[in-house]
Structure 1
Amino acid sequence: MGVDGTSDETPPGGPPLRRETSRLLSFSDGVFAIIITLLVLDLQPPRVERGQLLHALIEQWPAYLAYVSSYLYVAVNWLNHRAAFNRVENSGKALQWYNLGVLFSTALLPFATSVVSQAMRDGDQADQRTGVVVYGLVGVLVSVSWLGLYHYLTRHHDLLDQTVPRRFFPAERARAAIGLLGYALAILVGYLVNPLFALAIFLLLPIFYSLTSSGLYELRRLRHPHG
């Protein structure tokens, strides 16, 4: 019994929502760890004749670029996830499904990374265009999943810590929209102009998200560190 005469036992309806939020975070961290581990499996030493190892390693540069881009992308997704749920006080089934949507889309990155790196390394221009389209579509899907999550949290401020400003998640929703437009642009540029330009965009977008992983206001702090 508690000091006020109430029971300390878990209510019949299930564990408290705060405990559910903790479980959600633990599960999500495990999924992100698996995804980021799977990325490295595409980096394999080339099988070559004697004296050709250095040349073969250099020829695999698309695989290295795809790995770096995807690693950064998964890393900033984890940072975004941490920044978002550090501000969430209560959970529920709807929020859990939005979270599963984020995990589902992010889990496709190892596949997309393998496709684009193999296409850039071994394929012709048609394969390279297909590869960047596949990767770009996964990027769009990830952005859409975050857009849905942020929109839900914007509409349900009652789930958040009371200290969270009301403008925070609308600004995060704008960040997700920037990603959606960025990956859509990469698809068009990579398919219609040059796949290498798409790879550059794929690398720049995670850098943008890493600079703003705690919110768009981080950009203002970087521009005005003493403001």
Structure 2
Amino acid sequence: MTQPTSRWWGGSALRGDSARLEAFSDGVLAIAVTLLILDVRVEPAEGESLAHALHSSLPQIGAYAASFLQIGIIWANHHALFRLVEQVDQILLLENLLLLASVSFLPLPTGLVAEHTTGADGRTAALLYGATLTVSAVAFNLIWRRVTRHGLMVSGVSPEFVRDVDVRYLAGLVGYTVATVLALVAPALTIIVASLLALMFVLGPSPRQAIAQPG
């Protein structure tokens, strides 16, 4: 159990439980995922069929789907992680802001990826997209390590569960870094590998039960 502190400011200054942080995070993530659709436009030219216009918009639709997947799974994992958080301190607040900053930035590279699919501009767009997701992975690792190493977690969480999540989050960081570098080979590889990595986390931080049930 974390002990109360009289310090008003500082890295270890406590900021209460996680309810307010989660509510703010949910709002930011909801706005970010909504902004993605604004880059998808289907505007048939004069005499052009709707089917042809939809076909022309496939890069935008694909980029939207890939980023919706990323933000959706980030939200699900964020929710699962903070169910284990008993207290929030100043450093954890700042690390969570880093995560939210990267996610709210994602609509920009998503739009660029949809507009630039090949060539030097395609590589630049994919590099920015992958780098943004890599920052998100860095933030998740920082958040998790702050929670587990500084007494902010609920009691009773098994060491095996903590070790599982350590490995999964570190693997995610390495994977997103690799996906980013792959943009230098082919921009599409960054999107494909990043989407596969997101699916790796679809069931949450770890399949192992965090807290053993009695009896």
Alignment TM-score > 0.5, same fold: yes
For 2:98 and 2:162, the matched residues in 1 are separated by: 18
How far did residue 188 of structure 1 move? 2.5
Highest Rg: 1 or 2?
1
Report the 3-state secondary structure (helix = DSSP H, G, I; strand = E; otherwise coil) of the residue aligned with 2:79.
helix
For 1:148 and 1:38, the matched residues in 2 are separated by: 26
Cα gap change, 1:79/1:106 in structure 2, threshold over 3 Å: closer, same or farther? same
How far did residue 154 of structure 1 move? 2.3
For 1:23 and 1:45, the matched residues in 2 are separated by: 38
C-alpha deviations, 1:128-150, integer Å up to 9, x for none? Answer: 11111110111111111111111
How far did residue 19 of structure 1 move? 5.1
How far did residue 27 of structure 1 move? 0.9
Matched letter for residue 198 of structure 1: T
Where is the helix percentage greater, Structure 1 or Structure 2?
Answer: 1
Tell whether the 8 Å contact from 1:146 to 1:173 is kept in structure 2 after alignment: no
Tell whether the 8 Å contact from 2:168 to 2:205 is kept in structure 1 after alignment: no
Q: CA RMSD in A?
A: 2.2
Report the 3-state secondary structure (helix = DSSP H, G, I; strand = E; otherwise coil) of the residue aligned with 1:56.
helix
Tell whether the 8 Å contact from 2:102 to 2:136 is kept in structure 1 after alignment: yes
How far did residue 20 of structure 1 move? 4.2
How far did residue 52 of structure 1 move? 3.3
Report the 3-state secondary structure (helix = DSSP H, G, I; strand = E; otherwise coil) of the residue aligned with 1:45.
coil
The corresponding residue for 1:111 is: 108
The corresponding residue for 2:148 is: 154
How far did residue 82 of structure 1 move? 0.8
For 1:76 and 1:46, the matched residues in 2 are separated by: 30
How far did residue 13 of structure 1 move? 8.5
Instruction: Among all aligned residue pairs of Structure 1 and Structure 2, give the percentage whose two residues are the same amino acid.
Output: 33
The corresponding residue for 1:167 is: 160
Cα gap change, 1:168/1:48 in structure 2, threshold over 3 Å: closer, same or farther? same
The corresponding residue for 1:185 is: 178
For 1:130 and 1:18, the matched residues in 2 are separated by: 40
For 2:191 and 2:41, the matched residues in 1 are separated by: 20
Cα gap change, 1:174/1:108 in structure 2, threshold over 3 Å: closer, same or farther? farther
Unaligned runs of 5+ in 2: 1-5, 9-13, 210-215
Tell whether the 8 Å contact from 2:102 to 2:132 is kept in structure 1 after alignment: yes
The normalised TM-score by structure 2 is 0.83
Unaligned runs of 5+ in 1: 1-11, 219-227
Matched letter for residue 140 of structure 2: W
The corresponding residue for 1:63 is: 60
Aligned counterpart for 1:207 among listed residues 196, 199, 214 = 199
Cα gap change, 1:217/1:69 in structure 2, threshold over 3 Å: closer, same or farther? farther
The normalised TM-score by structure 1 is 0.79
Aligned counterpart for 1:197 among listed residues 189, 192, 197 = 189
